[in-house]
Amino acid sequence: MNQEWFEMRDIRRKSFGKSVWIPLRAVLSKEKKGRYGYEGYKEDFFGNGSIAVPNDKVAEAKKLGWMDIGISHNHSGWVDDGKYIPAEVYRDYGGEFEGVHLVLDQMSQDDGPNVWHLNQDLVVTLGLKREGNSWVCPNDGYVEVARLELSENNKPVLLEIKSQYLKDYLCARDMALYMTHYFNRDTILSDASHIVWEDGNNRYEDELDRWEGRVAEIHEGGNPFGGKMAVFHVARTDVDETDDVPDISGIPTDENTHGESWEREFEGRKLYRVSGELWRNEVILPGAISPKVRGDETQPTTFFVVDAEGNKSCGRDLIDSGKWVWFKSEVIMALCHRRGSHLSFHTAQTGSVSCSHDYGVHFGVNELGLINVYAKDIGLLPEWQQQIWAGYNITPEGGVSNELLASQVKAEPADTKAPEEFLGKGIELVNKLAMEKLNIQIFREHDAIPQLIEKTHRFRAVDEQSFFALAKDLARLIADSLDAQAMQTIVTPPKKEKWGSLKSLENLLASKYDRELVRKITSSLVGVYELRHADAHLPSSKIEEAFKLIEIDRAAPFVYQGFQMLHHVVSSLFGIAEGLEKWK
């Protein structure tokens, strides 16, 4: 290791006040290899302790150092002069200064590792949820806010928090974070001639830092080179070991003790221990505002096109604008991909979408397949959600969805239904009736079916390839789930003839009803099955034939093509259900 590594200029140049992640507690060996006292040993250690302190007490906090709030202290409630002190409270030895531990180190009462707890007030106030070794914020799209790092033997070594959330919390509490760090870089070398500190020692100190470097001669094994150790041995002579109950309660004296001493010289080849140590105290100031905890208003950073001229308004100004805003249909997928998202439909062309719990937005689909939302609903969203919507905002075109206007202006919601809401219901109904009438299930049950149904909606179809991908999932949901074997127990194929799942369904229904009628009912299912291969260079004539079977308008926006495909598939399911219901 060169001399600069021990002098830690890379560390001394940095400040956690500018970091995205701020450590609240650390006992971290960033690198450790070899055996102490032997050539090749190397350790790079970082320790950190911290407390939250009132802003008007920061000057007093600066009197505290590594030994006061570092890693040598475990945390527990205790009683001082008859007064109970909670575990989260830091009190100095004089009892005159108090702070708050944002991480509590609970000592293990067995052979397990200590447990670090993130301060519960911080967790509850920021709305955090622990998942494994992370704390996430569901209200902010499950962003990771705090994280715990464990060593290989599951000991906690680092707990850090995202600066944005910490400073917001500190601002609301009118507090700052006082941190004390200890860095140590330590090696055992056979030659330390490249370290040129005078007399093997160096020192640097300023307002923040105290750094010390030293080179020490040692024997292999770690003992001081040329040093000795003194050994003292003292034994009691006044105890009868044959007594049933020996007693050594008497005070040791020269008469009842025997002692001897000797020296031992350390041995082993000469090595060098080179180390650099840095003690640093740092203050993390609170944020200027607290939008998350205190609800402070922030300057808007997200803007939306609100008219045909391209004029823009910030989210705050949308609230009282009395207008609608337009978005590309891709925005629905951008929202639905996020954890905690939800998509549902109210009518055929209106619904509700959210990318986080409790933030559903009422939307409509206009004749061009664009998404309309009443501007106020966007303006009331958190800024981070507005940013997602803004990425798909466009100039008004195609008017506002008729069904959205019917609901929001006329207060007379359209009497139409979205096929997405009936896809799963149709499959369940077919199985229910098949069991009642034929004692079989036409669709096989599978754990993946509910998830597949949930993601099967028109907004996946934004271009040709994504439309074909939607068709493929529909085929998996319908054709691939048909239980041909069960259906063939009712209508058996001729010898040496094999029926696929759709053919088995057709022949089952055709055993009771006109085959042309059955084919008309199931044609959309056949068309979807054919389209599953469209992205694998299916001849264009086959593709066009499949579209005709489903009765899709190829000139319509892709969102509407997806809607039409779903509509006809759901109609087929309920047509099959009707046939089963009338089965005698």
For 22-65, the DSSP string reads: EEEEEEEEEEEES-TTSTT-EEEEEEEEEEEEEGGGHHHHTT--
Tell me if 504 is assigned to some domain: yes
pLDDT band at residue 1 using 50, 70 and 90 as cut-offs: confident
Q: Are residues 24 and 89 in the same domain?
A: yes
Q: Which of 251-255, 455-459, 542-546 has the highest mean pLDDT?
A: 455-459
pLDDT for position 199: 87
Give the total number of structural domains in the chain: 4
Q: Are 145 and 126 in contact (CB under 8 A)?
A: yes
**Same domain for 439 and 510:** yes
Average pLDDT along the chain = 94
Indicate whether 293 belongs to any domain: no
8 Å CB contact between 438 and 490: yes
The CA-based diameter of the chain, rounded to the nearest angstrom, is 119
In a domain, 295, yes or no: no
501 and 370 within one domain: no
Same domain, 20 and 71: yes
Q: CA-CA distance, 190 to 179, in Å (whole number)?
A: 36
Kindly state whether residues 428 and 575 are assigned to the same domain: yes
Instruction: Say if residue 84 is in the same domain as residue 179.
Output: yes
Residue 569 has pLDDT above 70, yes or no: yes
Residues 516 and 496 in one domain: yes
**Domain boundary residue among 205, 236, 265?**
265
9, two tokens: 């200029």
Q: Is residue 298 part of a domain?
A: no
In a domain, 292, yes or no: no
Residue 250's domain comprises 228-265
Final residue of a structural domain among 384, 416, 448: 416
Shared-domain flag, residues 388 and 424 = no
pLDDT in tens, 68-87: 999 987 789 989 888 899 99
90 belongs to a structural domain = yes
Residues 131 and 250 in one domain: no
Whether residues 354 and 443 fall in one domain: no
Tell me: pLDDT of 491 over 90.
yes
| Claim to verify: residue 398 and residue 253 sit in the same structural domain | no
Say yes or no: 259 and 177 in one domain: no
Two structure tokens written together for 65: 């150092």
Domain membership flag for residue 335: yes
Quickly state the pLDDT bin for 573 (edges 50, 70, 90). Answer: very high
Last residue of a domain, one of 416, 449, 468: 416
Please report whether residue 355 resides in a domain.
yes
Q: Does the pLDDT of residue 173 top 90, yes or no?
A: yes
- Range name among 431-440, 473-482, 536-545, 573-582 with the lowest pLDDT average: 536-545
pTM, full prediction = 0.84
